[in-house]
Structure 1
C-alpha cells in the first residue's frame, strides 16, 4: 500500500515497467518513519564557549523531543544509551504552512497545499569550553543521525585565530537551484574544515510572503544536512525570508533577548543577536523592520550595549542582509538602503564598527574603509591593491584585486556575491553618477577600493580572524563543485597610515611566468617566503627566492603569494 494525498492506493508490479518499479522500490527504501526528525541544525546562542542551540522539525503527530549529548568526539549509537546530557525540547505546533508553489516544480503536490509540523528547540548550557561533543535529536520513537560540535575555547592562540565560512543568498526555489547552493556549501566545508561556524547572511530561500514555501526550507536543510549536523549556523534574516507564518524563526534557535527587552521588537523573533568568538564581537542585525517607528533607535541602543559589555574585544563585526553600500544595478538606488544609511551610519561611526558583512545584492564588492560621517573613502587606509586589468569589465569593474585595508578610522563593507544561482549586474562609474538623486552618495564610485564585479559563479569566503589581522579569501564554485580563488585581502586596525591607495596602484612588484626558462619570476621585492596555490585554492608548495621552477608543476592557473614582512604581493600565472 502507498499513501499519497491522504488516499491509500494499491500498486501492482505487473502494471509497470521494470525500471520504473525499481525506481519506486528504491525510493520506498529511503522513506523514514513519521516520528523521524528533519530540518536539523545547530546555532550559536549566547556564549559559544559554554552553549549550543538546536532546532528541528517533525511531523505534527510528534509532540515531544529531546537532545542527547555525549562527551565524546566519535560517539556511536551505543554511547547514547547513557548520554552525559539530556535536554527536553520546547515543542510547539506550527500549523498550516504553505507547502509548495507552482515555481517549485514539485510534481504530484498541488500548489498552495498546507502542511502542519511540530517545531522543537533546545539549548545546551554549562558545557565545557574547547570540548568536542556528539549529539542526536528526536525521541525514543525516532532519533536523528549523530552530529558533532566543539565549543569555543576560553583562550585561544591569538596569532592563529579562528576561521569561519561566510555565504549569503542561497535563495533557491527548485531542485536545480538547490543543487547549486549545496555544491557551494560543500565546497566551502571541504576548503575550510576547521570552520567554527557558517555565517549565512539572509535569503536562504526564494519565496517570501503569505504563500511562501516550506518545501524550500526542507530542501535547504536536507541538501546540506550533513554540514548542519557538524557546523553551527549564524543566520541573518533576508527580505526573502520574510513571511507572516514565520518559517524562518521556527527553524532556528537564536538568542531572542532583543525582542524581550526592546521597546521596538523585530517582527521575526531571534533575528537581532550577538556573540563573541575569539577576539571578535559579532552583531547580527535585521533591517527588515526599517519602517517601524523607533526601530533604528532601538537597534542603536542595543548595539551600544553590546559594545559596552565587550569593549575590550578588538574586532567589531556587524553582519546583515540589506546593503548599506552597494554597486549593483538592482539595489544601489533602493530607497530602503538610503534610509538605512541615514539612520545607521552615525551609529557605525560612534561605535567604530570595523567590518560590515552584507548580502542582498548578488555581486562581489570590497568597499572602503568608509568614513561613515562623510561617506567618503578614509584617506590612506588602503594599501597593496593590485591593478590587474584595465577595469570596466563585468568580472572586474575596478580592475583591482587583493589589498590591505586599515579600518582604524572607518568601516570596510564587504559582499562576496551569492552562494546560489541568481546573479545581478554591477554599475559603472557613470551609472552611479547618474543615479545620485536616488542614492545620495557623492563619488560613490570612489568607495570601491578593491575588487568589484560579477563572479559569474556562486561563491563562499574563508574568513580567518586573528588578534592582528582578518584574512578574507573568496572562492567561486563551478558546476562540478570545484572551488577557485577569486580574490583575497587583509583587514588590519592600526594607528596612522603610510601610503594609501596611490602607492598600492603603482606597486613595482611584478609576478609572471617566464615560459622560455620554465620558471615563475618575482620582480620588485625580495620575498622572505613564497606560497603557490592551485586554481582550486589548495597549497601547491612553499618556496624562497625570486624564481620558482615550473618543471614539476602541472599545467593550469596558479596564484603566487610573495611575502615580505607584514606585506603580501599576489600574482596569477598560467603554466602550460
Structure 2
C-alpha cells in the first residue's frame, strides 16, 4: 500500500512560525503527508516495470534513469488518425524520422519525417529536439513504431488505437516529480535532496501508471493539467540539470512507450524551454501574445470530443478567448468541448483555490459559457474536488490586472503577499470572484444540463499534498483529501461523458460516478 510520513519537528516549526506571524494570514505550504517510496512494495501489476522491479533495484539504476534524456514522448495528434512524437537526441540530423508498420518486424514500414532543431544544453552537452507527426491510423488496430535516434533505429514499440466513438483516458493531477524534496524518508534521517526526491517520485509515478493500466486496460491516452516536474525556476546549469533529471524521471514510465499523453503547462513547467522541447503538441497556438518560454496552449480532437489545452500561466485572458474560439470554429461539429488547464479557478484546496488559482475566474467563466464548454479539467491544488454545473452570472468584475505581473510561476507571490497581509483587500478580492451561478445541483447522471462541470485532480504520485480549505465553497459538490495518490478515468461516447476517480494502489473508487448525457 501507499504509506505516509510526517516530520513532527518540521511541523512544529511551521506551527510556531504561524503563531509568531502577527497581523497577517497564515502562510500555507505542502503538508507533511507524502508518498515515501522506501516504504512501498515492489511493482506487482501485470504491466510491471521490467527493468526495475523493486525500490532497491530502482535506486541502483537511478543514475542511468535520470540521465536518459532521449526518451520518446507520444502525444495525441490533431485528430484521431494522427500521432505526434517528441524526443531529444545528441546528434543533429537533417530530419527527424519515425517509421510505422503493422508488424513488429517493421516490414513495409512507412517513414514519416519531421524537424530536428537545437534544443537545450544539459551538463555541457548540446541536445536536439526532434518532432514528427505520423498519420493514417485506423480505429481498433495494432501498430508498431520506431524512432531514429542518433542515426540508429531504436527498438520497435507497440501502439494500439481505440474506438473514437467509445474511448477512455486517464486524467491525473500534478505528478510534480521532485516535489517531495525536504521530506524525510523512512530509510534515512536526512531530508531528501532534489535528486533523491526525483528518484522517489518517479518510482511512484511508474507505480500509479502501471496500477491504473492494469485496473483499466481500456485507457487510450493520458491527460495531465500540468506540473510534470517540480524545479520551477532558474536557467543556470545546476537548476537546468535538475529540471532534466525530473523530466527523465517523469518520462521513464514504461507505460509511455505505448501510451500517448496530452499535458498542459503548469506553473512549475512554465519557466523553462524543456517542456516544448520534449512535447510535440498538436496545433500550438503560436498567436498567443503573452506566452511563456515553455510554449503555448493547443487543441486536438479525439472522436466526438474537442480538447482545448490552455496555458493558464499566461494571465492574458484575451489569448485564451482567441484560442478557444479558434478551436471551436475549426471543429464546429464536436459533440464534447473539454478545456484542460493547470490553475484551478474552481477548486477547494487551501493553498490556491481562493488566491492565485482564481485570478482568471471572472474572465474565463464567461468565455467558457459563450463557447459551450462542457467540462474543465484542472490541477494545481493537490486536492480532489468536483463542482456542480456552473455558469457566469453575467456581471462585470475587477480583473486585478495590476497583479498579473508578467508570466506566472513565482509572479503569483505578488498577489499572495497582498492577500496574506491585507484582510480588506482579501475580502474585496473574494467578492469580485463570486462571478458564478450554480445552474444545476443534481448528482449522478445529468441529461442536457446547463453550465460547465469543473474538476480538480489530486496528486497522482503523492509527491506533495495540500489541505482542503476550511470552509467548503458553495460551488463544490464533492471533495476529499485521502493523502493517497489518485487518478480518474473518463469515458466518452458520442452521447455520454462519465468520470470515476480511484485510489491509485487499490483501484477503489473515492467518489461516486458523475455523468453527463447529451441528447
Q: Could you say whether these structures have the same fold, taking a TM-score greater than 0.5 normalized by the shorter chain as the test?
A: yes
| More displaced 10-residue stretch of structure 1: 182-191 or 371-380 | 371-380
- Determine the structure 2 residue equivalent to 1:52: 83
The 8 Å contact of residues 317 and 353 in structure 1, kept in 2 or not, is answered as: yes
Name the SS for the 1:464 alignment partner.
strand
CA distance in 2 between counterparts of 1:283 and 1:379 reads 23
For 1:275 and 1:61, how far apart are their aligned partners in 2? 29
Q: After the TM superposition, which residues 340-489 of structure 1 pair with which residues of structure 2 at under 5 Å, given as runs?
A: 340-373=360-393, 375-376=435-436, 378-383=438-443, 403-405=444-446, 408-421=449-462, 422-429=464-471, 445-449=473-477, 451-478=478-505, 482-489=506-513
**Alpha carbons 1:169, 1:418 under 8 Å: kept:** yes
Deviation at residue 494 of structure 1 after TM alignment: 5.5
The aligned counterpart of 1:305 is 326
Tell whether the 8 Å contact from 1:68 to 1:83 is kept in structure 2 after alignment: no
Residue 43 of structure 1 pairs with residue 75 of structure 2: yes
Q: What is the CA distance between 1:263 and its match in structure 2? A: 5.7
CA–CA distance in structure 2, aligned partners of residues 315 and 321 of structure 1? 20
Other-structure match for 1:85: 110
Choose the corresponding residue for 1:277, options 299, 302, 307: 302
Could you say which structure has the higher strand fraction? 1
- Give the distance between the partners of 2:303 and 2:101, measured in 1 at CA: 25
CA distance in structure 2 between the aligned counterparts of 1:67 and 1:193, rounded to whole angstroms: 26
CA RMSD of aligned residues (A): 2.9
The DSSP-based 3-state class of the residue aligned with 2:306 is strand
Q: Secondary structure at the match of 1:487?
A: coil
What is the CA–CA distance in structure 1 between the aligned matches of 2:485 and 2:458, rounded to whole Å? 7
SS at match of 1:220: helix
Look up the match of 1:215: 245
Residues 469 and 180 of structure 1: CA distance in aligned 2, closer, same or farther (over 3 Å)? same
Unaligned runs of 5+ in 2: 1-55, 179-196, 395-434
The CA deviation at 1:249 is: 0.6
Q: Once the 2 structures are TM-superposed, how far is the Cα of residue 256 of structure 1 from its aligned partner?
A: 4.3
1:4-19 pair list within 5 angstroms: none
* Matching residue of 1:103: none
Distance 1:53 1:196 in 2: 15
Q: Which residue of structure 2 lines up, in the alignment, with residue 524 of structure 1?
A: none
Normalising by the residue count of structure 1, what TM-score does the alignment of the two structures yield? Answer: 0.63
Counterpart contact for 1:63–1:118, Cα < 8 Å: no
Q: Which TM-score applies when normalising by structure 2?
A: 0.70
Q: Tell me if structure 2 keeps the 8 A contact 1:381–1:407.
A: no
Equivalent in the alignment of 1:549: none
CA distance in 1, matches of 2:177, 2:313: 20
More contact order relative to length (CA 8 Å, sep ≥ 6): 2
Q: Is 1:146 the equivalent of 2:156? A: yes
Offset of residue 427 of structure 1 = 1.5
TM alignment of 1:191-202, pairs within 5 A: 191-202=215-226
* Change in CA separation of 1:337 and 1:229 when aligned onto 2, cut-off 3 Å: same
Alignment check: 8 A CA contact 2:299 2:327 kept: yes
Q: Is the 8 A contact 1:405 1:412 kept in 2?
A: no
Matches of 2:308 and 2:64, distance apart in 1: 40
Structure 1 pair 288–379 and aligned structure 2 pair: CA distance change class (3 A): closer
Rounded to whole Å, the distance in 2 between the matches of 1:289 and 1:310 is: 24
The alpha-carbon deviation at position 407 of structure 1 amounts to 6.3
Contact 1:164 1:464 in 2 (8 A): yes
| Distance in structure 1 (CA, Å) of the matches to 2:338 and 2:481 | 24
**1:45 shift after superposition:** 2.4
Tell me the distance in 2 between the aligned counterparts of 1:240 and 1:321: 10
Instruction: State yes or no: 1:325 paired with 2:346.
Output: yes
Listed as ranges, the matches of 1:288-303 within 5 Å are 288-290=313-315, 295-303=316-324
Matches of 1:256 and 1:317, distance apart in 2: 16
Counting matched residue pairs gives: 395
Partner residue, 1:438 = none
Rounded to whole Å, the distance in 2 between the matches of 1:145 and 1:488 is 42
Say if 2:171 is the partner of 1:166.
Answer: yes
How far the C-alpha of 1:416 sits from its partner, in A, is 2.4
| Deviation of the 1:419 alpha carbon | 0.6
Relative to 1, partners in 2 of residues 1:493 and 1:88: Cα closer, same or farther, differing over 3 Å?
closer
Distance 1:460 1:316 in 2: 21
Residues 129 and 180 (structure 1), Cα distance of their counterparts in 2 relative to 1, 3 Å cut: closer
Paired with 2:359 and 2:150, the residues of 1 have a C-alpha distance of 51
**Would you say 1:178 and 2:211 are equivalent positions?**
no
1:188 aligns with 2:212: yes
Kept after mapping to 1: 8 A contact 2:171/2:487: yes
Distance 1:337 1:37, change over 3 A: closer
| CA gap 1:352/1:164 in 2 versus in 1, 3 angstroms | same
Structure 1 gaps, min length 5: 1-22, 98-112, 384-402, 433-444, 496-576
1:449-485 Cα deviation digits (max 9, x unpaired):
1x2120210111111112332221111124xxx4322
**Alignment check: 8 A CA contact 1:255 1:270 kept:** no
